[in-house]
A and B are shown apart, each in its own frame.
Chain A
Amino acid sequence: MFAYVRYPGIYPHVYWSTQLLGLFFGCGVLWEIYRGALSPFPGARRFARNVLAILVTVLLLKATLSHGLWTQNQAILTALDTERDLRLVQAILLTAVVSVFAFYSLSLGRNLRSLVFGYGIFLATSVVNLAIRGQLGERFQPTWQFLQPSLYILVLCVWSAGMWRYSPIELPRIGLRIQEDYERLARSTRIRLRALKSQVNKGIRT
């Protein structure tokens, strides 16, 4: 805002360079969501890690193959295209992480839920807006100029409301109960097998 008001001439440079910085911060937010939600659940974390590794490999492969097909004229990427593509990658990764949360029914807690929801709104709307802006060009510019800051304010409201007070993730107690049951089951099976084995041995000896 300072650059926009005092030095409007340099504003586009400031805007696009900070957007790039924003992309890196976005990766940090994704990492925090992954780490914060999955650290109490080693199984779900392992599954998510594999899913993300596969997705990143596929996306890198696709980027490499597409790059090989570019002609010199097609290879000119604007900052808007770069941002749109990187936001799409982040959106795909966040969708995968959120799907793992849903599949394993992980309780996120109020803080993390708002972080995921706020950043998710930001990513989903950014991808769609940037795609439409890229397709329609200048015609969409006035709408985009209104939509982007409005949605950003909405995201800040979601984050502020969700993170106003600290609320830790509640671990489900039933998970511990089921683990306990499973261990009891395994133990009783081992005891039965041992008893059976000793009876068989006795029978062979007699």
Chain B
Amino acid sequence: MSSIVLYIAGGLLLTISLLRILFHRETEDEFSNPLRMGEHSVGSFSDTRLSAQIFGSEDWEYVVACRSKPIQREFLKVRKTLALAWVRAAKAEAQALMGAHRAAARTSAHLEFFVELRIALAYFSFLFFCTLLSLVIRIRGPVELQVLVNLTDSRSERLYEIVGQVFPVAGPFEDEFSGMQPVRKERH
């Protein structure tokens, strides 16, 4: 019986992959290049102070001290929206970085397999933590999730670090490669 499960799983896996390429449509956004996305940057998600403020317990403790249930409810509602926006922003930044990396890597004749594998693993583990974080925020609320946020942050840093080794892009906030500015102006 276990062997039939293996064959059915193989068939299903192939079907899912096929459906993915069937419904996949390329968009310009997918290839948006972080080297030229300065003004479209989605936010300061990598600022640890911001994430500590959103997901920490300091504000919540202050609201709890007010002893007003409607205020607490409203606070959690707003904070949940904010936390989910933070996760979306983090994902969008990583997707933009990966879009640029993929566009460069697929035509590169000097691609290194194990580096690519590390990048893919780092990216998928980051996406996994983002999904987990979104799920936990929806179920449990955004307060006191610092540990999970730090884990997600560390995955994001890892991804930027590995991609940076092969494709030196500017970080999400610092414009390390300001030498690119004239090129950007020429093209827009």
Contacts and interface: CB of A to CB of B under 8 A. Distances in A.
Interface of A: 40-44, 46-47, 50, 84, 88, 91-92, 94-95, 98-99, 101-108, 113, 116-117, 120-121, 123-125, 127-128, 130-132, 134-135, 172, 174-175, 177-179, 181-182, 184-185, 188-189, 192
A175 to B, nearest CB: 5
Contacts of B103: 172, 174-175, 178
A46 B111 contact: yes
B179 A188 contact: yes
A193 to B, nearest CB: 11
Nearest to A180: B183
B183 A181 contact: yes
Interface stretch (B21-29, B39-47, B135-143): B21-29
A172 B26 contact: yes
A128 B10 CA distance: 8
B108 interface: yes
Contacts of B109: 42-43, 46
Interface residues of B, number: 45
26 contacts: A41-B107, A42-B109, A43-B108, A43-B109, A46-B111, A47-B111, A88-B7, A91-B13, A91-B14, A94-B17, A95-B17, A98-B17, A102-B20, A103-B102, A104-B106, A106-B106, A107-B26, A108-B21, A117-B22, A125-B11, A131-B3, A175-B103, A175-B107, A178-B100, A181-B33, A192-B179
Nearest to A135: B4
Contacts of B20: 98, 102
Given A88-B7, A91-B11, A174-B28, A184 B18 contact: no
A4 B12 CA distance: 32
A84 B11 contact: no
B108 A102 contact: no
A101 B4 CA distance: 28
B107 A179 contact: yes
A123 B13 CA distance: 11
Contacts, number: 145
A120 B14 contact: yes
Contacts of B62: none
A98 B18 contact: yes
Interface string B91-119: 00000000110111111110101001000
Interface of B: 1, 3-4, 6-8, 10-15, 17-18, 20-22, 24, 26, 28, 30-31, 33, 35-36, 99-100, 102-109, 111, 113, 116, 120, 167-168, 177, 179-180, 183
For the complex of A and B, 4 pairs with smallest distance between CB atoms: A131-B7, A43-B111, A128-B11, A43-B108
Nearest to A173: B31
A109 B33 CA distance: 24
A43 B13 CA distance: 25
B95 to A, nearest CB: 11
Given A95-B17, A117-B18, A182 B4 contact: no
Contacts of B107: 40-43, 175, 179
B8 A128 contact: yes
Given A41-B106, A123-B14, A124-B14, 20 more contacts: A42-B109, A44-B105, A47-B116, A91-B13, A94-B14, A98-B18, A101-B21, A102-B20, A102-B21, A105-B102, A107-B26, A120-B15, A124-B10, A125-B11, A135-B4, A172-B26, A175-B103, A175-B107, A178-B104, A185-B35
Contacts of B33: 174, 177-178, 181
Contacts of B36: 181
